[in-house]
Amino acid sequence: MKTVTVNSAARHIERTYRLLLGLSWFATGLPMAVGFLLAQARGLDLFELGLVLAAYSLTIVLLEVPTGGLADTVGRKRVALVAYACSFLAGISFLFAMSFPAVLLAFVLNGASRALSSGALDAWFVDSYQAADPRAGLQPALARAGSVSLLALGAGNLLGSALPRLLPGLAPEGTAALTPLAAPLVAAAVAWLVLLVLAALLVHEGA
């Protein structure tokens, strides 16, 4: 079986893609294990939790189609940056949310981020990778990126579930913004901010 050597430009694009994709899923995983526990600690009941999750899903459904061609119109990089900014704002909103409407807003912002980010970075990678080296195998590169995503998501979940135990000296739940259960949100916000900066610096359209 003949092995195709990928040129340096394509390898650089793949490394950038894996870095950004991995950081994105790491940031996503950080608050995943404690998000609903935090919302309950701030007064939401099970029905209200169901409503915010429904609002999150509905936001994705309503925005998925309208934003589907947005990346082709304004550019993959811009859409990805807006998506990462929405994720950052969603995390900050949730961090300071002390009521049902505030938590609802955070989940709607998160849904908007998910709809915007759907495929934007992937489309940039596919176009840039194939333009850099048309002979390079796309499927192996996507498979490697998929493995990075799963590992990053798992690492984010593990760290996010450990942070409240590592910071027991923070304010009691429901009394302040920065509590043990909110610590993963702070870490996620930092990760989204780092991702936003890295994407702005490393992603070049038409590469």
- Which pTM was predicted? 0.91
What is the b/e burial string over 133-143, where b = at least 16 CB atoms within 10 angstroms of the residue's CB?
A: beebeeeebbe
Q: Is 173 exposed, middle or buried (0-12, 13-18, 19+ CB in 10 A)?
A: middle
Residue 91's pLDDT is 96
CA proximity to 33, closest of 163, 143, 174: 163
Residue 207: which pLDDT band, with cuts at 50, 70 and 90? very low
Q: Hey, is 175 helix, strand or coil? A: coil
Q: Hey, which CATH number is domain 8-202, 1.10.620.20, 1.20.1250.20, 3.40.1350.10, 2.30.30.100?
A: 1.20.1250.20
Taking only the tens place, the pLDDT of each residue in 91-136 is 999 999 999 999 999 999 999 999 888 788 888 999 999 998 888 8
- How far apart CA 44 and CA 173 sit, in angstroms, is 13
Residue 23's pLDDT is 97
DSSP code string of 131-144: HH-TTS-HHHHHHH
Residue 80's pLDDT is 92
CA distances from 134 to 59, 71, 130, 145, 150 (A): 37, 22, 5, 19, 27
- How far apart CA 180 and CA 162 sit, in angstroms, is 10
